[in-house]
């Protein structure tokens, strides 16, 4: 559940969202996007949580900016992003970040 990322550096895409009321195709698409992401070159892992107040945070980790770009323009993912913006999310922010260091307990 905590992503087993390699030693930094690597990249993170922090996606924070508030859902709309629209459920149509949302859960199935979210699951399908996870499946697709895992098959993308440079995918390192993902962490996701949605709290009882409705705020969702999904952080995906990537080996390079090129890998992030390739995922962003993947055809099926593009269509999901379009529907996300128009149907499933009331508000969201996507932040692309360079992870320089990490530490923890496992």
Which of 24, 34, 55, 73: binder of its own copies (CB under 8 A)? Answer: 55
34 is a site residue for its own copies (CB under 8 A): no
26 is a site residue for its own copies (CB under 8 A): no
Which of 8, 26, 40, 74: binder of its own copies (CB under 8 A)? Answer: 8
85 is a site residue for its own copies (CB under 8 A): yes
Question: Which stretch in 23-31, 36-44, 46-54 sits in contact with its own copies by CB under 8 A?
Answer: 46-54
**Exposure class string for 82-94: b at 16+ Cβ within 10 A, else e:** ebbeeebbeeeee
**Do 77 and 2 form a contact (C-beta atoms < 8 A)?**
no
- Spatial strand order in the sheet of 43-50: 10-19, 55-62, 43-50
Which of 48, 74, 83, 87: binder of its own copies (CB under 8 A)? Answer: 48
Residue 1 structure tokens:
């559940």
**Do 17 and 89 form a contact (C-beta atoms < 8 A)?**
yes
Q: Number of residues in contact with its own copies, rule: CB under 8 A?
A: 39
d(CA 94, CA 69) in angstroms, rounded, equals 13
Question: Which stretch in 23-31, 33-41, 55-63 sits in contact with its own copies by CB under 8 A?
Answer: 55-63
């Amino acid at each position: 559940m905590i992503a087993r990322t390699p030693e930094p550096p690597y990249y993170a895409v922090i996606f924070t969202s508030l859902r709309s009321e629209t459920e149509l195709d949302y859960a199935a698409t979210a699951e399908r996007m996870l499946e697709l992401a895992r098959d993308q070159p440079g995918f390192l892992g993902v962490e996701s949580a949605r709290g009882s107040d409705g705020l969702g945070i999904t952080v995906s980790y990537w080996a390079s900016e090129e890998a992030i770009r390739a995922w962003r323009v993947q055809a099926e993912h593009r269509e999901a992003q379009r529907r996300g913006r128009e149907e499933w999310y009331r508000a969201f922010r996507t932040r692309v970040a360079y992870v320089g260091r990490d530490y923890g307990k496992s």
